[in-house]
Amino acid sequence: MKLIFAALILLLSAGQSFAESWIRGETSVSRLNSFQREKIFGNRLNTPEHSLTYTENAVKEKWDWRNVNDQNWLSPISNQGNCGSCVAFAAVAVLEGQYTITNNLSWLKPQFSQQMLFDCGEGSCDIGWLPEWASYQLRSVGVADLSCAPYLLGSSGKNGMCSENYCENQKSRTIQISRVTTPSTRWGGSDKKVKAALKKGPLLTTLNAREDFLYYKGGVYKTKHSKKVGGHAVALVGFDDDKQAWLIKNSWGEDWGEHGYAWVAYSDPSGVANLTWQYEVGETENKIAFSKLENDDFVSGKISLPYKSVNLTPVQLKIKSEHENILTVNCNIENSSCDLETKDLPDGRYEFSLVSEGIGSFPVTVYVANKESELVINWSDDLIDLSKPLSGQIVLALDVKLAESKIPPKNIGLIVRNEAGDIVYRNGTTNWAEKMLMGFRTRNVPNGRYELYFIAEVFSGGVSRIISTEAKQISILNN
């Protein structure tokens, strides 16, 4: 009888829905203190829950824009950092995906400026923004590429000012969407309509995040908590009827979820897919792009930059410093690559772009770093007394001083090491500022004595290395 009962339990377990099991763990956002957590939620629209009508289909379907016709049509995962700009990030993610899909070129992955969209739409890091406003802004004004207006809000957490001169030729680098439709609205909708729209491209959607959403590491998420922690916006990029789940693209970096993505159960109460917006864009003439080079890449020495183009015509690599075009390189049509000796350029920030018969690619921000980095990081004025036992939420201050070349760190991190020398806590961000605040929850580690210090990854001469501040001794005593 015991064997029969055990077998029955196994069968029932094997038959569990995907929505009843997901992987929980520490992520880049679960490690944040309460003040910083509030900053990552910026959807001001009240998302309805359980308003979508679901239909059980005899034939199961699935769709994933990361793998349609064996191609990934989505841009890289981004990180909104210390600002409630999730609506801008989700809207831009949808625009980037739709732009690539409309032009039927999976390698044409432009990146657009979340900063410009958020600034000029009057979004607020502290309060957030509305999806309707983001959609209206994209249609009425448009947005420039990411290299024109890089994202800086993630490190400062302070609102930026809209500008007509993020870059010299901003107007010619700005694109607009032609139409916005709403496959599902607060007055209801059906999963069939949302899925049909998804097959045409990604959708902007919103959700009411629960606390355990911060800890999502994989599987099909369905909350086990009723406590809501904030309104959030994401890009809806797929679905799977076998998993009974939607696929979302988030803006919390690759350390959260499945490398920045998540499967959310149809039955999850968050309201994901209940409100959706779809963008239509026109075709572009700019059908040329770097194959591997991405914004904020670091390069040194002799490099070869592969590219793709729809035409077999002569291609040139254009290199621009902050205010002037400084170098033009003829590329090799036969192997579709541009060779460059970066030692011919002073270290610093540049825009690289491709031009073929007067048609140009979207520019890409590149840092040339051949000389040893002179970046310096130091403890700033203490916000708390580290000589006393610490408990709860603490905020630490850091000064970042760039060298004359203005080459930034690749990332900044906070490290906690125990008395045996083992690292027991690590948190990092690619967002940086000259004056930085980083939070730490003492319950991330057991009570005891530790060393606490900041690190920065710097790149030069083709090699990354780690620099650090002095270590400070701390004692943690949680109640």
- Enzyme catalytic residues: 86, 232, 250
Q: How far is CA 160 from the centre of its chain?
A: 19
* Alpha helix positions (H), 121-257: 131-140, 153-156, 191-198
In what helix (H) or strand (E) does residue 228 lie, and over which residues does it extend? strand 228-240
Contacts of 379 (CB under 8 A, 6+ apart): 396, 397, 398, 399, 454, 469, 470, 472
Q: Which amino acid, one-letter code, is at 118? A: F
- DSSP category for residue 279: E
Q: Assess contact for 222 and 232: CB atoms under 8 A.
A: no
Contacts of 158 (CB under 8 A, 6+ apart): 125
DSSP-derived pairing of the beta strands 316-320 and 302-309: unpaired
Secondary structure (H, E, C), 409-478: CCEEEEEEEECCCCEEEEEEECCCCCEEEEEEEHHHCCCEEEEEEEEEEEEECCEEEEEECCCEEEEECC
Work out the burial of residue 470: count CB atoms within 10 Å of its CB; fewer than 13 is exposed, 13-18 middle, 19 or more buried.
exposed
Tell me how far apart the alpha carbons of residues 184 and 203 are, in angstroms, rounded to a whole number: 10
Q: Residue 352 forms beta bridges with which residues?
A: 319, 364
